[in-house]
């Protein structure tokens, strides 16, 4: 079955590479106009946008800044005149263990929360208001396996921020369903991305491989079809759910 998202506008954060880029390609292949967000990786974003349909456009924003996050949303609405699909994928994982000097640890914690949770919360809030005016829409937040099983001592902030994303998504799903707003979590485990590579450089790829049930690591393209399916409206009665895509490393 071919999913048709023609005429729909989708904002994808962190779409210059990795999971976000794969999602952007999947949405574009289904006909959606993609608002591709990036922060620093302009060249990579330009490479991705060149693969998308002609109605897709790039937007730069630093999601560690609440003002920049708000401006991103406003620019998308100004450019396209509407938004039906929000996909909050952008995230950071800063290695920061308890031996680090407390002021630096707090800086790492605050930056992680700003990008992973606060920016997601702001965009979700803005999308809810927009969707209530326009008759509904769909939010798909990329959380993490770490939200449920926890993470290592070096990534306490990452796990905590992703746990917050799960609670945020469920709350929106329960609160706004009758206004036509659906919200979903997709929770990856290890995915072969630059962010995961930092972890594997520290712990070794065998650590990741030994932690999963399948013989190979998850790739960004393995997540995109599920996100496109959730964006299509074919799974609306699963609003509030979390879909695990972690190669069997955490089952709940």
Q: Which residues are catalytically annotated?
A: 158
Put residue 96 in one of left, alpha, beta given phi > 0 → left and psi -120 to 50 → alpha: beta
For residues 166 and 174, give the distance between their C-alpha atoms in angstroms, rounded to a whole number: 12
**DSSP for 174-221?**
HHHGGGTEEEEEEEE-SBSSHHHHHHHHHH-HHHHHHTSSSSS-B-GG
Show the CA angle centred on residue 69, arms to residues 238 and 8, nearest 5°. Answer: 45
Helices (H), 36-182: 42-49, 66-80, 102-113, 119-134, 146-149, 156-176
Cα distances (Å, whole numbers) of residue 132 to 25, 44, 103: 27, 34, 41
**CA 188 – CA 211 distance, rounded (Å):** 13
């Amino acid at each position: 079955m071919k999913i048709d998202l023609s005429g729909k506008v989708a904002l994808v954060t962190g779409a210059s590479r990795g999971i976000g880029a794969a999602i952007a390609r999947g949405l574009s292949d289904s006909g959606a106009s993609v608002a591709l967000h990036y922060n620093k990786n302009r060249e990579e974003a330009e490479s991705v946008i060149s693969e998308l349909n002609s109605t897709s456009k790039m937007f730069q924003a630093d999601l560690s800044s609440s003002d920049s996050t708000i401006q991103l949303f406003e620019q998308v609405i100004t450019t396209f005149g509407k938004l039906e699909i929000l996909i909050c994928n952008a995230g950071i994982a800063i290695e920061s263990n308890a031996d680090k000097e407390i002021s630096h640890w707090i800086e790492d914690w605050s930056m992680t929360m700003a990008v992973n949770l606060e920016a997601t919360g702001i965009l979700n809030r803005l999308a809810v208001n927009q969707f209530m005016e326009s008759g509904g829409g769909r939010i798909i937040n990329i959380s993490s396996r770490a939200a449920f099983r926890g993470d290592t001592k070096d990534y306490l902030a990452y796990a905590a921020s992703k746990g917050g994303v799960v609670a945020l998504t469920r709350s929106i799903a329960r609160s706004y369903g009758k206004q036509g707003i659906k919200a979903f979590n997709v929770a990856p485990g290890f995915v072969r991305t630059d962010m995961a590579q930092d972890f594997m450089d520290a712990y070794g790829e065998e650590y990741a491989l030994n932690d999963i049930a399948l013989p190979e690591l998850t790739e960004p393209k393995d997540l995109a079809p599920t996100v496109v399916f959730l964006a299509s409206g074919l799974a609306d009665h699963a609003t509030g759910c979390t879909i695990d895509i972690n190669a069997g490393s955490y089952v709940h």
